[in-house]
């Protein structure tokens, strides 16, 4: 008989739909791919059983009321909800949900939040003294409201003992795959990822988004075009003088405009783009470090090492050992 894994997912009005259905699909596929041996039983719980309207306008049906869940919980999964305001999204925290999570957590083998569900865990006191993540857009709100939590807005997910916190939206799949891998190993997690046709599995220490995504479009089309050029020509001469010449600007004026539009210097931007590409090569290929350095325009393994030490506080070899994904 399979070891039972009772996954209870909290439901409440305006909950993010994918936060609920994404992990549920991962666990359902794990059962299918393992011939039922994975043993996951997913239940949706809400203050009252019945339909719950999600933020997408789609109704989900709660199997149980909070009062009916009891102590038989293997994984307690808490999704999130946001109120989109003119000054940006704000995480919503329902006191009823917080109280139920606080009472149920001691009975669960592990607790996980998805996206801004971390705000609920924090309000329940479950993140005190722990490192945690959430969607980047509400990370500042989490840090300000709960200074006792060590908020890291960058990772896809963070594990702190039996408490897991995940980043935004699609990162719920990475978190659920990591939970699956903990229970049944990497092979089953990989099989499920293939069925989902998603990136094999982003590891927890990886960034929520890439260098281009972390920099929104600027007010100048020529700067945006230059950023695209940098991404596509990392092994070219991307020094400030060369980029200024390409922009037909003096080096001083170019540096001022670039910083004004992107918030960083040309050299720092180029370095970040090169490190990101190096990370992808280390994660997905067995390319020798010498070739990684050449392809990304860093020139030498020594320069590659210095860049990784400066930006990631690790070495290229150590990064590859941790994050290499075998096809």
Catalytic residue positions?
115
DSSP-derived secondary structure for 107-170: GSSEEEE-GGGHHHHHHTTTTTTSEE---GGGHHHHHHH-TTSEE-SSBSEEEETTEEEE-STT
Q: Which two tokens stand for residue 129?
A: 């003294």
DSSP-derived secondary structure for 229-289: HHHH-TTS---HHHHHHHTTS-HHHHHHHHHHHHSS-HHHHHHHHHHHHHHHHHHH----H
Compute the residue count for the chain: 327
55 SS3 class: coil
Per-position b or e across 85-110, b if 16+ CB within 10 A of its CB? eeeebbbbbbeebbebbeebbeebeb
């Amino acid at each position: 008989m399979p070891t039972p894994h009772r996954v209870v997912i909290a439901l409440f009005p305006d909950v993010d739909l994918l936060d609920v259905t994404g992990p549920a699909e991962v666990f359902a596929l794990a059962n299918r791919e393992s011939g039922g041996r994975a043993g996951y039983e997913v239940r949706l719980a809400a203050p009252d059983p019945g339909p719950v309207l999600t933020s997408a306008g789609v109704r989900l049906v709660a199997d149980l009321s909070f009062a009916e869940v009891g102590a038989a919980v293997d994984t307690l999964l808490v999704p999130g909800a946001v109120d989109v305001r003119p000054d940006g999204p704000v995480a919503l925290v329902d006191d009823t949900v917080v109280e139920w999570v606080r009472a149920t957590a001691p009975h669960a083998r592990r607790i996980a939040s998805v996206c801004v569900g971390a705000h609920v865990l924090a309000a329940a006191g479950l993140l005190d003294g722990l490192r945690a993540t959430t969607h980047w857009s509400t990370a500042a709100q989490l840090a300000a409201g709960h200074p006792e939590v060590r908020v890291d807005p960058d990772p896809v997910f963070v594990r702190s003992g039996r408490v897991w916190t995940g980043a935004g939206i699609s990162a719920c799949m990475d978190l659920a795959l990591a939970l699956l891998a903990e229970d049944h190993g990497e092979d089953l997690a990989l099989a499920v990822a293939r069925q989902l046709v998603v990136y094999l599995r982003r590891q927890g220490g990886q960034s929520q988004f890439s260098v281009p995504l972390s920099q929104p479009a600027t007010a100048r089309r020529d700067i945006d075009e230059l950023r695209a050029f940098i991404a596509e020509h990392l092994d070219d001469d991307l020094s400030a003088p060369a980029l200024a010449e390409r922009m037909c600007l003096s080096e001083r004026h170019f540096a001022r405009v670039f910083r004004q539009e992107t918030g960083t210097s040309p050299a720092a931007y180029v370095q970040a783009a090169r490190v990101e590409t190096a990370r992808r090569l280390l994660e997905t290929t067995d390319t020798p470090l010498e070739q990684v350095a050449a392809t990304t325009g860093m020139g030498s393994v020594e320069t590659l090492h210095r860049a990784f030490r400066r930006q990631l506080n690790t070495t290229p070899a150590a990064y590859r050992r941790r994050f290499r994904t075998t096809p």
